[in-house]
Amino acid sequence: MNADAAFDTPDAPDRDLPMLTAAQAAHLRELAAPYTDNSHTYSLQNLAHTCRRAPEDRWPELVETHFARLRAAGRGDESAAELLSGVHARLLPIDSITPDLVGAMRYARVVADGLVFAYALDQPTTVRILTDPDVERAGLEELGEAAYANLMRVPVEHEEVAIEGRALLHSVYGDSPFVASKALFLSELARQVTGEALPDAGALVAVPTRHLLAFHPIVDGSVAGAINDLAQYALGAYQDGPGALSPRVYWWHRGGLKSLTVIDTETNTFSLQPPPELLGILKGLVRLDRAGRLAGRTAAKEPDIGGLRDTAAEAIARIDQDPSGLGGAFTSTVQLAHAHCAADPDLSHVDSWDAWASAVQLGTALFTGAQPQECHLGGDLVRQLPAVPAEPPADARAWLDAFYVAVVCRQSARIDRLCQVPLAVLRQDDSIDEYVLHWIDTLQTYWAERPMDDVVEKLLATMTTSAPDAVTRAPKDFVNLIDYQPVALFHRLITRDHDAFAEALTEALAHHATYWGDSPAPRARVALGPLAMASLAYDHGLPVDMKQPYLPTYLLNRERIEEIPG
């Protein structure tokens, strides 16, 4: 049976009122006919949702009540003061704007696929959508200010719903038909209900009914799962009604809404298609989160050294059968190395050193290949790293981690090999901002001992492209407090300004503390980038205070450094 035939079946969903069967929709239209005339068209969407939830023998009563309210709301003789006291900004489904309303509401505008912005007057028994004469009577500017103020005073309930144990969905609901319209001003709503501003990347948001909206701030890699869960949530709530508004998922960004849902009207199917800008943000957050670089809202549990060691050992053991797992093994060992510094902040124990040495081995192997070698993970746990070819992945921040741990562990030969990795390969990483590549270029140029003018030129490019208005993918606080700090330190290092370097190092460590707070996440334990720059400074004879937080003393002063296999 083809799709058109399916719609013609009495028990199939109606084309225009899919919450009803075709037979039910025909019955509703028959009941509504006496209340309509050729001079005005009415949307039956909300009425259909109401009827769907009631026995059909009550439909005549519901239809009569519905149109009685419409007639009561249609006077349009309120004074300007009355309009200003009751007006609210309102989101309407685009299919509720009938042809005769289009001509009467020239002030209204489409704000996103499927959604129209309008003004509505809240009355004791009903809500009336304002027309152009109403707007002229009250004044467009005055009406806009009043509509915003009245909308933000509408009371709401707020709940946090955990998605798969990580992603947080904020559900905002209430009796008022204006609750979902607060999505127009989502940034202020988020402050009201969570006490926190939305991130620069914005939020995913759904407005399935006029009484409900749900949003998920785009702060970490959990957004990858949240986008699908929110889509299912939105569609389910939209179909349940009443007061259906939109089944779509939107991206709220910089004050605007953009639909991520694409609806194929021929097949009546839905798909999610984020625009390139959002897709880049999502990829960046997922990769940052997977490597443990982001400070989450909820503090993780204290690092379990034994569990992290077992994870790293299992990952290394699988490389022989699946070489693509080398990147995950490197990430695991970096986590293990950092986690050791919780109980051993100076890195005085051999087990702690073994974890750092293994991170060096795996990081170098990931980008430059390696011969077979043993990786000591602490205690008696040893895993054999098989021979791996030189197939550097397009993972720029993993390269930085590999470079940093090699510098900290004073592995000059390995650093030489890392700095020969073609920048063109790392440029294929579509999850990063441009400044990351400029920073890698700066480090490679410096380590190759090329003219200092070339180093400075590349450093300036790094600084320019890491400015807030140039960063589009990584969270701004991560860039400012974590990612940029090695750049600032390197600037002081190459000028050989001892006092300025010391001041910048103290500032970098303070920023590290601010970003991570009381999180026990492994990355919170060591300021890896600043540690690498401090190690370079120490080796160049700059005085560096050995007793500072987040800088393992016996790595910084080289007392713990031992030979690393391979």
pLDDT at 74: 53
Residue 225 has pLDDT above 90, yes or no: no
Q: Which residue has better confidence, 68 or 245?
A: 245
**Mean pLDDT, rounded, for 425-433:** 95
Q: Which whole number is the average pLDDT over 245-261? A: 95
Q: What is the mean pLDDT of residues 495-500?
A: 92
- Whether 3 has a pLDDT exceeding 50, the answer reads no
Higher pLDDT: 296 or 542? It is: 542
Whether residue 199 contacts residue 217, with contact meaning beta carbons closer than 8 Å, is answered with yes
Q: What is the pLDDT of residue 541?
A: 93
* pLDDT reading at 121 higher than 50: yes
**Integer Rg of the chain from CA:** 30
pLDDT tens per residue across span 314-327: 999 999 999 999 99
- From CA 128, how far away is CA 126, in angstroms rounded? 7
Looking at residue 42, its pLDDT comes to: 64
* Residue 449 clears pLDDT 80, i.e. is over it: yes
pLDDT at 312 over 90: yes
> Rounded to 5, what percent of the chain is helix, strand, coil?
50, 15, 35
Of all residues in the chain, what percent carry a pLDDT higher than 90?
Answer: 74
Is the pLDDT confidence value at 298 over 60?
Answer: no
Average of pLDDT values for 299-324?
88
Per-residue pLDDT at 75: 60
* Dihedral angle of Cα 177, 179, 181, 185, to the nearest 10 degrees: 160
DSSP structure class, residue 433: -
Give residue-wise pLDDT tens across range 456-496: 999 999 999 999 999 999 999 999 999 999 999 999 999 99
Average pLDDT over residues 289-316: 84
Structure tokens at 307: 């569990």
Q: Residue 297's pLDDT band (boundaries 50, 70, 90)? A: low
Q: b or e along 7-35 (b: 16 or more beta carbons within 10 Å of the residue's beta carbon)?
A: eeeeebbbeebbbbbbebbeebbebbeee
Stretch 200-208: mean pLDDT, rounded?
96
Q: What is the pLDDT of residue 164?
A: 63
Residue 51, Cβ density class (10 Å: 0-12 exposed, 13-18 middle, ≥19 buried): buried
Percentage of the chain with pLDDT > 70? 94
pLDDT tens digits for range 337-357: 999 999 999 999 999 999 999
| pLDDT score of 168 more than 90 | no
Q: Does 2 have pLDDT greater than 70? A: no
Mean pLDDT of 12-38: 84
pLDDT at 272 over 80: yes
* pLDDT value at 103 more than 90: no
CA–CA distance, 457 with 462 (Å, rounded to integer): 9
Provide mean pLDDT across the span 420-449: 97
pLDDT mean over 181-197: 95
Could you tell me whether strands 269-272 and 261-264 are parallel, antiparallel, or unpaired per DSSP bridges? antiparallel
Q: Is the peptide bond prior to 242 cis by the omega test (within 30 degrees of 0)? A: yes
Sequence ranges of the domains in the chain: 3-72, 80-152, 157-288, 300-556
CB of 274 closer than 8 Å to CB of 260: yes
Q: Please, what is the average pLDDT of the chain?
A: 90
pLDDT of residue 241: 72
- Kindly tell me if the per-residue pLDDT of 41 is higher than 70: no
* pLDDT confidence of residue 5: 39
461 burial via Cβ count (<10 Å: 0-12, 13-18, 19+): middle
Distance (Å, whole) CA 544 – CA 528: 16
